[in-house]
Structure 1
Amino acid sequence: MRAWQKSLGLISAGVATLVVAGCTIGGADKTTGNAVAGQTTTKSASEAVVTVTPANDDQPVNPLDQVRVDVAKGTLTSVTLTNPDGKVVPGITTPDRTSWKPDEPLGYGKTYHLTVNAIDGKGLTTAKSTTFATLEPSNQTKVYLNTTGGAALADGGTYGVGTVVVAHFDEAIDDKAAAEKTLTVKTDPPVQGSWYWLDNQNAHWRPQNYYQPGTKVTVDAKLYGKKVGDGLYGQEDEHVAFQIGDSHVSIADDDTKMVTVYENGQVARTMPTSMGMGGEEVVGGKTIHFWTQPGTYTVMDKANPVIMDSSTFGLPINSRLGYKESINWATRISTDGIYLHELESTVWAQGNTDTSHGCLNLNPTNAKWFYNFSQPGDVVEVKNTGGPALEVWQNGDWSVPWSEWAAGSALHA
């Protein structure tokens, strides 16, 4: 394996130019007449043989395809690759100056000019020049590395032990397997994990079990230049690294009407709550239920205050159970609006009676404490309630059995 060293190369003035690529050009004797009558001289061509990849066959190349220059029976004196704006593309040359390659990916839909100069052991020079173009996708997709709450994962941020990585593509992905191959998650210490496709734009990654506090997580999307559909290529790479903070796991038990909050396995607080009243109502042909669905949620985000509007899930404000009001110390745990939040008007019911539309009501002191305590990715397990089980699209990633989760990978064997 060759070692490489960075080199921009220089264009030598007055060199002979040969438009050849993907093949070789080397030394050959040729005799030329001398201007002095009665004399002839023999001029030997350089023995240096230069090979350039890719071939100049008018076929656009992928920006990630190998572009390189090699020389046999000689050394490179300069290699210059320029883009359409005349900017020189940085390159890397091996220490023995027999090979060169670009030091950065090329762009889409651009024409590049490559000029090479080499010299053999006798000091004779040769030159080569070629032009090639890169492909121009009919469409490109960008990937965003987010939390389940839709916010970008912060580089260097701290998240909960139930954190799920969301790879959101801004275009529908036809070839999920190709897209998934561009996505990698590395953890320290290592854990078993898998991607799970919710639809053709969103892939979620989680470990089999909750992370250990202090785990370091690195996510890379090497998407640029990769084909992920018919004419669809990756727009750019993405990267984020974060760490897992203290273990925050809350158990909301409808049998006791209590929320028990554990920090690193120890009880940090016990809070009376009033959960979903149960039952359902049909509005406009849509069935709306009023349970706090059983399952494993994670903290998505929080706001103080938040405007809660029943019309957002199909229940008109002016209907019998409709509402629109400002709520303080609200910590969201589902995509369809389940929060742990303050509601002073139900303090009488907290710990004994379920009265809500599905949220977990808390008194002002407990709601504020939980709000300040929580971080995205913290776990909230809801047990012994009625109604349908929490679904994955509702932020129920951890409610999916591991075997089913692993089968949701596009690369599942």
Structure 2
Amino acid sequence: MSLSRSGSLTPSASQAPFVLLAGLLALLLVATGCTIPVPTGSAGETTPTETSEAPVPATLQVTPADGATDVAVVDGVRARVENGSLSEVVLTNDAGKEIEGELSQDATSWEPAVTLGYGRTYTLDITYRGATGGPRTDSRTFTMATPQAIVTPSLVTPGGGALESDREYGVGIIVAARFDQPVADRETVEKYMTVTTEPAVEGNWFWLDDATAHWRPRDYYETGTRVSVDLDTEGRNLGGGQWGGEGAEVDFTIGDRRVAIADDDTKTVSVFHNQQLVKTMPTSMGKGGWATYNGVSMHFWTQRGVYTVLDKASTVLMDSSTYGLPLDVGYRVTVDHGVRLTNEGIYFHALASSMWAQGNTNVSHGCLNLSPDDAAWYFDQAVAGDIVEVRNTGGPEQQVHQNGDWAVPWSTWQKGSAD
């Protein structure tokens, strides 16, 4: 090191390389300081370096097992791959026909697109791939269940008429599920019987017998309620050796609130539309009393209780012999504007010949007689599911099988469910 003329120190020729090397080392430490790991162990320990993970092999999950028997024809066949994708899935029946299937968007799951056949044998061939390696295959053969009996439901009103989608019903409409034979296991069957409403209402099924169940809400529906019913029995194991045939479903809407009150104290029918009284009509109801013909006992009251309109017809043939009353003491006559309330044959209908009695005397065998004009008016208003209350008449209590669903107390109705 020597002193320059300006008084500053300058390195000598022999010192210059050393200074330059020291500077470069300092720069190197500064430049790499943010990437030097801070040791966490003792001086003799080393820090492991990161290594890439090995690919997870693809895993195939298939239902059912190879050689399986008694396989459910719905939800019994599925394929799914994890950490891979399905390249091809082919399902073939015992006649060599390829069955249509549905592959998920991400190609990781597959299932049949149709209900498979009872008692048929199928072969399922699958090709799938993982992240590495070539394609892999799986093949299995299985046989579907062979039922001892196939049970098929239908959706009707309590009067037997089909419930129809995309139409309006009255606020008291009853959903009836009828099976073509008695079911062995009500509880299992009921799991596949779903009623959904918008807005939601409280309601449940009530089994009248092993082949018939009715559904109603706790209270009358509100106007505008949407109701969807799904009997999802197809291909289901219903228990007791029974399997489900084709299911049934219906979607409908609740219309205006219409309630007719027939009061024997006044011999009138008061009709309310959306809770407003719109018409009062004189009527003549059942004359009452009992009779026995050919060993069949019958009464002639219009039973008190709560009914719903089942259906209507512009003309109805009234024949007393159909319920055991001989024609020589009964009747066979065609009437107009019949609105049916029971399966036993109780109707609102026109009867001009009893107008003298309407409003003051009961003379019928159980029907509610109206004047021709009043019967025509009510016929035009009534829709299936409208409420009809009969008050203050004599005779036995209305039973549920007499279109008396709404006469059953809610606490009793709840006990009628199999669930």
TM-score bracket relative to the smaller structure: 0.7 to 0.9
1:75-94 matches, cutoff 5 A? 75-94=85-104
- Aligned partner of 1:69 in structure 2 is 79
Distance 1:72 1:387, change over 3 A: closer
Map 1:48-59 to 2 at 5 A. Answer: 50-59=60-69
Unaligned runs of 5+ in 1: 1-46
C-alpha displacement of 1:50: 4.2
Name the CA distance, whole Å, in 2 between partners of 1:68 and 1:214.
Answer: 40
Q: Which runs of 5+ in 2 are unaligned?
A: 1-56
Moved more, 384-393 or 103-112: 103-112
User: Judging changes above 3 Å, is the alpha-carbon distance between structure 1 residues 381 and 128 closer, same or farther for their aligned structure 2 residues?
Assistant: same
Aligned residue runs from structure 1 range 250-329, under 5 A: 250-319=260-329, 322-329=330-337
Distance change >3 Å, CA 90–CA 158, structure 1 → 2: same
Runs (4+) of structure 1 exceeding 6 A deviation are: none
Give the conservation status (yes or no) of the 8 Å contact 2:71–2:144. yes
| Corresponding position of 2:39 | none
2:35 alignment counterpart:
none
Task: Give 1:181 deviation, angstroms.
Answer: 1.2
- Greater alpha carbon shift after TM alignment, 137-146 vs 125-134: 125-134
Q: 1:9-408 to 2 correspondence within 5 Å?
A: 50-71=60-81, 74-319=84-329, 322-408=330-416
Deviation at 1:49, TM superposition (A): 5.5
Q: Which moved more, 1:402-411 or 1:103-112?
A: 103-112
Instruction: Give RMSD over aligned pairs.
Output: 1.7
Closer, same or farther in 2 for the Cα pair 1:293/1:121, shift >3 Å? Answer: closer
In structure 1, what is the Cα distance between the partners aligned to 2:125 and 2:417?
45
Q: Which has the higher helix share?
A: 2
Matched to 2:321, the amino acid is: S
The letter of the residue matching 2:346 is I
Per-residue deviation, 1:51: 4.3
Q: Secondary structure at the match of 2:209?
A: coil
Which has the higher mean CA deviation after the structures are superposed, 306-315 or 110-119?
110-119
Q: How far apart are 1:94 and its partner, in Å?
A: 4.3
Determine if contact 2:286/2:366 at 8 Å carries over to the other structure. yes
- Do 2:286 and 2:367's aligned partners in 1 also have CA atoms closer than 8 Å? yes
**After the TM superposition, which of the residue ranges 108-117 and 244-253 deviates more from structure 2?**
108-117
Return the offset for 1:84.
3.3
Matched position secondary structure for 1:372: helix
Whole-Å separation in 1 of the counterparts to 2:348 and 2:188: 39
CA displacement, residues 95-125 of structure 1 (integer Å, 9 cap, x when unaligned): 5534433334322111112111233444523
Whole-Å separation in 1 of the counterparts to 2:183 and 2:241: 11
Deviation at 1:343, TM superposition (A): 0.6
Instruction: Go from structure 1 to structure 2 and tell me whether the alpha carbon gap of 1:297 and 1:75 turns closer, same or farther (over 3 Å shift).
Output: closer
- Percent identical across equivalent pairs? 49
> Counterpart of 2:386 in structure 1: which amino acid?
D
Query: Aligned residue pairs: how many?
Result: 363
CA distance in 1, matches of 2:58, 2:200: 50
Cα distance in structure 2, aligned partners of 1:153 and 1:145? 6
Larger Cα-atom Rg: 2
Secondary structure at the aligned position of 2:235 is classed as coil
Give the TM-score normalised by the residue count of structure 1: 0.84
Contact 1:48 1:125 in 2 (8 A): no
**Could you tell me which amino acid in structure 2 is paired with residue 381 of structure 1?**
E
Q: What TM-score, normalized by structure 2, do the two folds share?
A: 0.83
